Amino acid sequence: MRWSCSSQLPVNHWHEYLGEPTVADAVLDRLLQSAHRLDLKGDSLRRHSDARKTPKLDPS
């Protein structure tokens, strides 16, 4: 079985985000037991492309 999971939250912040260390450990154990991790660095390309495509709304 193959599946993928992506997150903008780095793995080392999951314990703080989930708030419960036991739950965070259980989730990370299951997700990362045989995972191939890709930690991406740099600016988001989505932010650059969204800024050009998003129409400006008139607040009035």
Q: For residue 37, what pLDDT is reported?
A: 80
pLDDT in tens, the chain (60 residues): 777 877 888 888 888 988 988 998 998 888 888 888 887 787 777 766 555 565 666 666
Residue 17: both structure tokens together? 């985000």
For residue 14, how far is the Cα from the chain centroid? 10
Q: For residue 44, what pLDDT is reported?
A: 72
SS3 55: coil
